[in-house]
Structure formats: C-alpha cells, structure tokens
C-alpha cells in the first residue's frame, strides 16, 4: 500500500445490509437498533485524519449475551462488526471501511465487582477511565492508565493504550488481569482470573489487548488497581533547547528512579496549551513531572531531578502540590491534542506515535526536529518521553492534498528512523488504517502473516472490524 492510496481510504464495495438482517436485528434490539443518518454519522468518525465513513447501522448493546446474539446474527448474514466505545481513536479504528454495523458498547458502563483488598476491579467496557476513577475515589486506589481522551476501558484494551503514567505503572498490557470476550460465532470466553499471576495455558488476555476489535468483542475487563500515593507533587520547567530537555529525561530514566510521570512538550505545543487553557507558561521546550510516594521518597526524587534539570540549563520550576493545581496542570497536558487543533482552524491532525529505546530518544527527537525545519505544516511535539514515545501532531488542511502528502512523508521518515533504532511505529495508538505498511516494515512479512493466520482462525469470514491492522485478512 503506498502513501498515496492510504489517504483518503475509500469504502469498499461490500454489499449493504439485507432486509432480512435488518428485520432480525431490529427484532432483537428494538429501539436500540438505529439506521438514522445522525447516529450512523456519529459512529463513522473518530479523532483520526480520515474523512467519516459511517456504518450501515448502529446496535446499542447492553449485555454480554446480547453481544453474542448480535455477533451470531452478523456471522449468519456476513455483516462486518465494528466495536465502538467513545470514538476517540486517532487511527481510524471505528471507520466502516467495509460497511457493516457499529456495535456501540457505551451502554455497558457498569462497575461489576470491586475488590479493594485485592487491588482489582471488574468493569464493563463502556466505562470511561475518568468515570472509573470517580467510582474508585473513596477506596484510596486508582487506575493509572490515561490516554489523552477520556476513552472507554474497552477501547483502551483494544489499542493497548498507555498515557502519562506508563513510565511508572506500565500500559494496559501490564494492568489487565482478565477479559470476557465474545467471538464472532457467539462463543463467550474468559481469558484469566483474579489471581495476580497464572501459567495456565496460552495467554489469551494479551492476544486480545491491542487486537483493535479484529478478533472479538471485549465485554468485561478485570483491572489491577494501585494505591494512591501518600504524597504527590507535580512540576513544570523550561529548557532553552529541545535536546537539553529530552536528554534530561533520558538521564532521569537511566538513573532508575521511580518517577511517576515525565512528559515533554515543545514550544509550539506550549503555545497551543497556553491559548487553549489560558495559561502563561514560558513558550519553550517544557517538561512536566510528577513525583509520588512517601514524603521521604518524594523529597529524594525532587532533589535528584532538580539537580539534573539545573545541570542541563533548565529553569523556572513551577510546582503544584494541591490536588486542584495538579489536576489543572495535567488537564492542560491531556488537552494538548485538542489545543493543537486550534492552532490551525479547520485543520485535521495526523498524529505520529513512534517509540524508541530510551538511549536513542534524544537522537530520534533531534533528527525529527531537523526534518521538520523545512516543513510547511505546523507540527507541535508532545511525548511520553519517559517511555521513549513521542507524537508529532501534524496539522493538515483537509482540502489540500499536498499537505497530506507532506505529512505522510514526514511520518514515513520518522517511522523508518524509529524502526532503524529497534523501536516501534506505534507506542500506544495502534495500527488501525494508517500504519499497516509500517507494521510490515517493523515486524516483517512472516510475522504479519502469523498475525493474519491468528485472525483467520478466530474470524474466518473477516467480519470483526475488517480492514484494520491488515488491509484484508483473507487472501486477495
């Protein structure tokens, strides 16, 4: 697939829904089946740079049993199914590129079982990460994974999401104990237990985490929780140059410190956040930190980081200790994507997502900044740099194909750079529609074919979110 054919994607010519299917699903779901244009349109768009591609109908499901019934119906009628959480994908995951129905799980948003004494909670997939933490507030525990959007827990499983806390707490992969999954033929499996570890058979949990809705529908999730730290301290500080900021992060990570969060944003991203959130941060390369633990541990971390920052020429520490101040700071950071969009009215964003070994991070960021020097499109940089993961948010005029092409070429060079450093084309967003040839470049034809064979095994008719991860899961 070439860059030219990838953007924009055209919907393929799978046939539309039959009257028989519409009658059956209508009977099954009543008013929770909709083919209204507004509902279809809402479910055919996400935060990616693709134009909307609406499904042929939307099923609002309410239980595992109902999901099983809908999937069996879809299999019987050969209808593609696209699981839909909060629509916050940045890689086109919810777009109906082969038609079919959107399976909206937002009505399945309950907390099923809370076991604070085991640090576990079981939830339905439509619960969002913020809703979950609201529910947990009284327990002294929290769930750390925090992609920028207030994504659904099911969607976060599907993309193997992470965010600003991964440097300390890991990603979804390290924080999901078990899933309930419905397969396209209606079989329901549970992939794990509430025990902290298990060596019982193949690891089906991790097979579904990051499978982007292409293998089955997640209907229950059992998560690990973490104790809220005794003390939390957040801070920002500024650097004269990007290289100095990123190198400081590398030193902090190489020190082996258990820092909670360490995030980078460049001067342009600071400007976007300042405008969006009415802040007055210095418009320079900036690091966001969070230190957490016992007061003694926090004090130790702060002393070490302050020293490293000063040595690198960083300055202007702004501290936030009260929860309200910390929330404001992290809210600003989380809004970077949406703030960036406002730098160029009417634009769409193409977000890059490479992740490299930490020792190569400074080199990768600096080479990318050099590559952007002559770019005609604005591209603020934000990054979960403690993980070696950073994003360019390339702001593209949807009506100017030459801007798409330019962004695509920048992305392509960046991914090649990351892969050459033994890194990944995607740290947390997934492959979706946009990175299918990057995946092949990264893992090779044989590994892609192994993935496709697993897909064929669990979904022989290629009905689960077809066209995502792989251009086609059945040989063409």
474 binds a second copy (CB under 8 A): no
356 binds a second copy (CB under 8 A): yes
Binding-residue total with a second copy (CB under 8 A): 86
Distance CA 98, CA 96 (A): 5
SS3 248: helix
Cis, bond preceding 302 (omega within 30 deg of 0): no
- In the window 326-355, what residues touch a second copy (CB under 8 A)? 353, 355
CB of residue 454 to a second copy, shortest distance in Å: 6
- In the window 17-56, what residues touch a second copy (CB under 8 A)? none
- In the window 403-422, what residues touch a second copy (CB under 8 A)? 418-419, 422
DSSP state letters, 305-331: HHHHHHHTT-EEEEEE-SHHHHHHHHH
CB of residue 389 to a second copy, shortest distance in Å: 7
325 binds a second copy (CB under 8 A): no
Both tokens assigned to 66: 């109902």
CB of residue 256 to a second copy, shortest distance in Å: 3
Distance CA 227, CA 296 (A): 17
- Residue 232 vs 448, nearer CB to a second copy: 448
Please pick, from the candidates 221, 382, 469, 473, the single residue that binds a second copy as defined by CB under 8 A. Answer: 469
296 binds a second copy (CB under 8 A): yes
Please pick, from the candidates 176, 183, 265, 377, the single residue that binds a second copy as defined by CB under 8 A. Answer: 183
Distance CA 376, CA 355 (A): 25
Where are the alpha helices (H) located in 52-188, listed in sequence order? 64-77, 129-136, 153-159, 166-169, 172-175
- In the window 53-92, what residues touch a second copy (CB under 8 A)? none
- Residue 8 vs 444, nearer CB to a second copy: 444
CB of residue 206 to a second copy, shortest distance in Å: 3
- In the window 263-292, what residues touch a second copy (CB under 8 A)? none
DSSP state letters, 113-147: EEEGGGTEEEE-TT-BHHHHHHHHGGGTEE---B-
- In the window 371-390, what residues touch a second copy (CB under 8 A)? 387-389
CB of residue 77 to a second copy, shortest distance in Å: 23
Helix (H) or strand (E) holding 34: strand 33-34
- In the window 419-448, what residues touch a second copy (CB under 8 A)? 419, 422-431, 435, 438-439, 442-444, 446-448
454 binds a second copy (CB under 8 A): yes
- In the window 144-163, what residues touch a second copy (CB under 8 A)? 159-162
| Alpha carbon 81 to chain centroid, angstroms | 20
DSSP character at residue 51: P
- Residue 150 vs 174, nearer CB to a second copy: 174
- Residue 245 vs 425, nearer CB to a second copy: 425
Residue 59 in contact with residue 102, Cβ under 8 Å?
Answer: yes
CB of residue 209 to a second copy, shortest distance in Å: 6
- Residue 271 vs 429, nearer CB to a second copy: 429
Distance CA 429, CA 352 (A): 9
- Residue 109 vs 211, nearer CB to a second copy: 211
CB of residue 87 to a second copy, shortest distance in Å: 18
Long-range contacts made by residues 126-132, C-beta under 8 angstroms, separation at least 24?
126/85, 126/152, 126/153, 126/154, 127/152, 127/153, 128/86, 128/152, 128/153, 129/153, 129/156, 132/223
Please pick, from the candidates 36, 323, 409, 453, the single residue that binds a second copy as defined by CB under 8 A. Answer: 453
- Residue 30 vs 256, nearer CB to a second copy: 256
* x/- track of binding to a second copy for residues 187-226 (CB under 8 A): xxxxx-xxxxxxxxxxxxxxx-xxx---x----------x
Residue 84 in contact with residue 105, Cβ under 8 Å?
Answer: yes
User: What is the maximal distance between C-alpha atoms in the chain?
Assistant: 70
CA neighbor of 384 nearest in space, from 259, 218, 293? 259
C-alpha dihedral sign at 440, 443, 446, 450: negative
Please pick, from the candidates 130, 359, 402, 413, the single residue that binds a second copy as defined by CB under 8 A. Answer: 359
- In the window 232-251, what residues touch a second copy (CB under 8 A)? none
């Amino acid at each position: 697939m070439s860059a030219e054919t990838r953007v924009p994607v055209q919907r393929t010519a799978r046939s539309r829904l039959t009257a028989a299917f519409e009658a059956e699903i209508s009977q099954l779901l009543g008013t929770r089946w909709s083919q209204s244009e507004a509902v279809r349109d809402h479910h055919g768009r996400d935060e990616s740079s693709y134009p909307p591609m609406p499904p042929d109908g939307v099923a609002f499901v309410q239980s595992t049993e109902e999901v099983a019934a809908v999937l069996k119906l879809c299999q019987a009628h050969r209808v593609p199914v696209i699981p839909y959480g909060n629509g916050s994908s940045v890689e086109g995951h919810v777009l109906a590129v082969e038609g079919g129905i959107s399976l909206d799980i937002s009505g399945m948003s309950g907390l099923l079982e809370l076991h604070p004494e085991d640090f576990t909670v079981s939830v339905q997939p439509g619960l969002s990460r913020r809703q979950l933490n609201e529910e947990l507030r009284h327990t002294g525990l929290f769930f750390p994974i925090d992609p920028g959007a207030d994504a659904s827990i099911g969607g976060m499983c599907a993309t193997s999401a992470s965010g600003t806390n991964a440097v300390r707490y890991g990603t979804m992969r390290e924080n999901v104990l078990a899933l309930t999954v419905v397969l396209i033929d209606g079989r329901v499996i549970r992939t794990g237990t509430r025990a902290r570890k298990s060596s019982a058979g193949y690891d089906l949990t991790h097979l579904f985490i990051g499978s982007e809705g292409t293998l089955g529908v997640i209907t229950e999730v059992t998560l690990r929780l973490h104790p809220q730290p005794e003390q939390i301290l957040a801070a920002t500080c500024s650097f004269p140059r990007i290289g100095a900021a990123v190198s400081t992060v590398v030193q902090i990570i190489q020190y082996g410190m258990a820092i909670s969060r360490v995030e980078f944003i460049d001067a342009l991203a600071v400007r976007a956040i300042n405008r969006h959130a009415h802040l007055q941060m210095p418009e320079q390369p900036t690091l966001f930190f969070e230190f957490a633990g016992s007061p003694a541990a926090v004090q130790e971390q702060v002393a070490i980081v302050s020293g490293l920052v000063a040595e690198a020429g960083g300055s202007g520490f702004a501290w936030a200790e009260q929860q309200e101040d910390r929330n404001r700071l992290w809210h600003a950071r989380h809004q970077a994507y949406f703030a960036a969009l406002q730098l160029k009215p009417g634009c769409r964003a193409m977000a890059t997502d490479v992740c490299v070994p930490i020792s190569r991070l400074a080199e990768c960021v600096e080479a990318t900044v050099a590559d952007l020097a002559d770019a005609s499109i604005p591209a603020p940089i934000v990054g979960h740099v403690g993980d070696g993961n950073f994003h360019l948010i390339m702001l593209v005029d949807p009506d100017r194909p030459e801007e798409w092409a330019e962004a695509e070429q920048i992305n392509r060079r960046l991914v090649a750079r990351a892969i050459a450093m033994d890194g990944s084309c995607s740290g947390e967003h997934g492959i979706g529609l946009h990175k299918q040839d990057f995946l092949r470049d990264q893992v090779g034809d044989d590994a892609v074919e192994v993935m496709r064979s697993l897909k064929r095994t669990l979904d022989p008719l290629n009905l689960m979110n077809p066209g995502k991860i792989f251009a086609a899961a059945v040989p063409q």
